[in-house]
Amino acid sequence: MLLVFALAAILWGVGYASGASRQARTVMLAVLFASVLALHLVLPDGHPLRLATGEDPALWLLLGGFAGLAVLYGAGIRALKRQVVSKDKAEMMDETQGPLFTTSELERYARHIVLRELGGPGQKKLKQAQVLVIGAGGLGAPALQYLAAAGIGTIGVIDDDIVENANLQRQVIHTDGRIGMPKVFSAQAAMEAQNPHVVVRPYHRRLDETVARDLFAAYDVILDGTDNFETRYLSNRVAAALGKPLVSGALSQWEGQLSVFDPAQGGPCYQCIFPEAPAPGLAPSCAEAGVIGPLPGVVGAMMAVEAIKVVTGAGQALRGEMLIYDALYGETRKIRLKRRSDCPVCGGG
């Protein structure tokens, strides 16, 4: 048998050196196997060629059976892969416009597409999604960066502030050269430079009752990264009334928290958990209390993750839960949140 294995190795090596395809080399080995098996079936017992090639044909029949099973298994795996790839390609096609993604986009989002929980269909949902971010500051900056990088098709950002020198310690979407520029336009420049395949809609104004409802109606998911309670309660009221999921984050010094408020899916809203705004001085802003620079990046990136999960349906979003991150001691914990029946926004109050 060793003689046959040596001859097989020589044939494979010669075929490889001469540039023969893998399929051609496999055919050569199959011919060799058939020839040896024929010798064992035709020649009498004790013949020198049978003795030199293993003597008993049963060994070659077993070997051929195992090789056949391996070939069938490999062919089955390849067929399944082709089926999955064709299905993903079909999912990533637009019925009226053809391919939904360019070659550049497929390469850019490759790490998403190989994720079992996302794949091609998930990336298609991200491209077709429209996400609004309220605030382009501490929390909005990292959320906007990662939403753009992830391939969210349309990203709206509303903020009436301008870039200041004091922002740059944590709001890394802005640069020193853009001090004095409205934050929404600074963020737009950064997002479009990072990913030219997304559409960015900047709204340089304050969110108020006059525009909130019409603005929210144009988007699928709302992210609230503001630092004032008036805007938080307004965003919650409008999002709940329209049935839009609201990804909400907050910061203070070394601690951050985030949750997904989605009464349309049976969860509580923001006002269920915080019925009233705290008295002045009890919840100081970052400007008053300070905040460690990387903390907004951590929590803002988590908000982007929650938005991606809400859009694609991957995993379990933080509906009915609040994640609290203590950066000073490196601790993370989650608490359950309950809906209030007397809530004036989503209950009967």
- In order of 11, 13, 24, the CA distances from 31 in angstroms are 11, 16, 11
- 292 shares its domain with 167: yes
Q: Is the pLDDT of residue 250 over 70?
A: yes
The residue among 72 and 338 whose pLDDT is bigger is 338
Q: Please give the Cα distance from 233 to 249 (Å, whole number).
A: 13
What is the structure's pLDDT at 211?
95
The yes-or-no verdict on residue 271 having pLDDT over 70 is yes
Statement to judge: residues 252 and 332 lie in one domain: yes
Least trusted range by pLDDT, from 87-91, 211-215, 217-221, 230-234: 87-91
Of the ranges 92-106, 121-135, 151-165, 288-302, which one carries the lowest mean pLDDT score? 92-106
Same domain, 152 and 8: no
What percentage of the chain exceeds 90 in pLDDT? Answer: 64
Banded pLDDT at 19 (limits 50, 70, 90)? confident
Rounded to whole angstroms, the Cα distance separating 47 from 39 reads 10
**pLDDT above 60 (res 327):** yes
348 assigned to some structural domain = no
User: Is residue 103 domain-resident?
Assistant: no
Across the range 260-274, mean pLDDT stands at 94
Of 18-22, 103-107, 251-255, 259-263, which range is least confident? 18-22
What pLDDT, on a 0 to 100 scale, did the predictor assign at position 27? 72
The structure tokens listed for 249 are 């984050």
In a domain, 109, yes or no: no
Domain end position, chosen among 91, 107, 138? 91
Of the residues 38, 68, 91, the one at which a domain ends: 91
Number of domains in the chain: 2
CA 51 – CA 327 distance, rounded (Å): 75
Instruction: Specify the pLDDT at position 118.
Output: 93
Q: Which of 40-49, 280-289, 305-314, 332-341 has the lowest mean pLDDT?
A: 40-49
Q: Is 26 exposed, middle or buried (0-12, 13-18, 19+ CB in 10 A)?
A: middle
Check whether 334 has a pLDDT greater than 60: yes
Can you tell me the distance from the alpha carbon of 135 to that of 203, in angstroms, rounded to the nearest whole number? 10
With tokens 């269909």, the residue in question is 121
What residue spans of the chain are helical by DSSP H?
A: 2-17, 22-42, 48-52, 57-91, 103-108, 110-113, 119-128, 140-150, 183-194, 209-217, 229-242, 270-273, 286-289, 294-312
Give the span between the Cα atoms of 71 and 204, in whole angstroms.
63
Residue 95 confidence (pLDDT): 52
Q: Write down the pLDDT at residue 3.
A: 65
CB 272 within 8 A of CB 338: yes
pLDDT of residue 90: 56
- Write down the pTM of the prediction: 0.73
Name residues whose C-beta falls within 8 Å of residue 20's C-beta, 6 or more positions apart in sequence: 28
Q: Does 141 share its domain with 278? A: yes
Same domain, 231 and 152: yes
* Least-confidence region, from 128-137, 152-161, 241-250, 288-297: 288-297
Q: How much is the average pLDDT of 55-79?
A: 72
Check which CATH number belongs to the domain holding 266 and give it. Answer: 3.40.50.720
Domain that holds residue 78: 2-91
Burial of residue 331 (number of CB atoms within 10 Å: 0-12, 13-18, 19+): exposed
Q: How do 246-252 and 255-261 pair as beta strands?
A: antiparallel
Return the C-alpha torsion angle 323, 289, 294, 254, nearest 10. -50
Q: Does residue 54 surpass a pLDDT of 70?
A: no
**Interval 237-244 mean pLDDT:** 95
- Written as one string, the DSSP assignment of 19-41 is T--HHHHHHHHHHHHHHHHHHHH
- The span from the CA of 232 to the CA of 278, in Å, is 12
Cα 16 to Cα 26: distance, rounded to the nearest angstrom: 11
Indicate whether 74 pLDDT > 90: no
How distant, in Å, are the alpha carbons of 67, 78, 85 from that of 81?
21, 5, 6
Residue 80, CA atoms < 13 Å, CB-side half-sphere: 6
H or E element that contains 134: strand 130-134
Say yes or no to pLDDT of 105 above 80: yes
Per-residue pLDDT at 48 exceeds 80:
no
pLDDT at residue 79 in the model: 74
